[in-house]
């Protein structure tokens, strides 16, 4: 008991201190572009009302008027602080019609078509498809395009959901686009973690948060437990640009997708404590729903940790 309370306390303290350290290290000139961040929308995750992680403008093409105007005022450039995870893989940057987010896991269908995930609110809920929040699919050749950190197209959105308790989307990769299943820095995923447990867990994730993505993109968080099949609350740091980040347990298994920030919980049930400063939508039920709606069986592409 004392051990997880100490771990949780340290993680909460770290989440509070990290933004101050990041901004102090950058200086005023670099911190200013963070104004190009839209106000986050509210979302219910496990009954806890908390803000979705804001999506900053990407290259001045963000769909939200606030992010677009702010990016234009900054010379049309994307905010500083994006991460250094290269290519198309878990942890890499993705640019959408809404703005800048982070890619999560790589998936494959039986016909070998490949998909890579991010958060649903990276394409639904604001910008050009604001009226389509809920659940949506796009036929092949008709989905909004997705770009990598260099602005090159990698594919198009095929599926997205933004409806409690799910916040998830899939990009259908274009033929010839090189992609890796391996998460930057940490390795994995080695499988899917759908455990229900009251034991404390260390989580790992790589994100492109503004102001920290270029300095501390590889981060850890602490979950007091995994009491819920649809979400995990953890004590850690989430900033605009981290939306969609792949979250794994320290054994390498995929837990879910980082989507919300703020105080979550405090709940206790027979399975353990449910509390944190960031929210994660668990992967297994979202994969099952996407497979059902798309009419195909999606498999997580795994690798070594």
**DSSP code at position 64:** S
Residues 6 or more apart from 10 whose CB is under 8 A from it?
222
> How does pLDDT run across 261-277, given as a tens digit for each residue?
998 876 655 566 788 99
User: Which region among 47-56, 84-93, 114-123, 182-191 has the lowest average model confidence (pLDDT)?
Assistant: 47-56
Residue tagged 């599926």 (tokens): 159
Q: Within 13 Å and on the Cβ side, how many CA atoms surround 14?
A: 18
Q: How far is CA 142 from CA 87, 150, 159, 225, 267, in A?
A: 24, 22, 11, 41, 42
Report the C-alpha gap between 252 and 228 in whole angstroms: 19
Looking at residue 238, its pLDDT comes to 94
Least confident of 17-21, 26-30, 41-45, 262-266: 26-30
pTM: 0.81
Task: Tell me the CA distances in angstroms from 131 to 7, 19, 156, one per residue in order.
Answer: 41, 33, 19
């Amino acid at each position: 008991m004392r051990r997880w309370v100490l771990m949780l306390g340290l993680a909460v303290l770290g989440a509070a201190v990290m933004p101050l350290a990041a901004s102090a290290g950058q200086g005023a000139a670099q911190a200013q572009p963070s104004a190009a961040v839209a106000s986050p929308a509210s979302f219910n995750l496990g009954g806890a009302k908390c803000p979705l992680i804001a999506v900053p403008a990407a290259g001045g093409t963000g769909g939200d008027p606030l992010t677009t105007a702010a990016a234009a005022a900054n010379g049309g450039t994307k905010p500083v602080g994006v991460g250094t995870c290269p290519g198309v893989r878990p942890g890499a940057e993705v640019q959408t019609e809404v703005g800048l987010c982070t890619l999560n896991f790589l998936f494959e269908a039986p016909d070998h078509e490949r998909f890579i995930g991010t958060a649903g609110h990276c394409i639904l809920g604001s910008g050009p498809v604001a009226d389509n929040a809920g659940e949506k699919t796009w036929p092949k050749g008709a989905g909004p395009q997705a770009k990598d950190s260099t602005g090159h197209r990698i594919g198009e959105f095929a599926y997205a959901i933004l409806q409690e308790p799910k916040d998830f989307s899939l990009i259908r990769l274009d033929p010839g686009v090189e992609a890796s299943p391996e998460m930057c820095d940490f390795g994995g995923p080695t499988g899917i973690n759908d455990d229900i447990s009251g034991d404390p867990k260390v989580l790992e994730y790589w994100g492109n948060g503004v102001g920290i993505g270029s300095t501390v993109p590889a981060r850890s968080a602490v979950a007091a437990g995994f009491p819920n099949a649809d979400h995990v609350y953890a004590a850690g740091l989430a900033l605009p640009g981290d939306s969609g980040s792949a979250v794994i347990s320290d054994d390498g298994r995929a837990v879910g997708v980082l989507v919300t920030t703020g105080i979550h919980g405090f709940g206790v049930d027979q399975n353990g404590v449910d509390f944190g400063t960031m929210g994660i939508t668990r992967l297994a039920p979202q994969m099952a729903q996407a497979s059902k709606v798309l009419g195909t069986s999606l498999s997580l592409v795994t690798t070594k940790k």
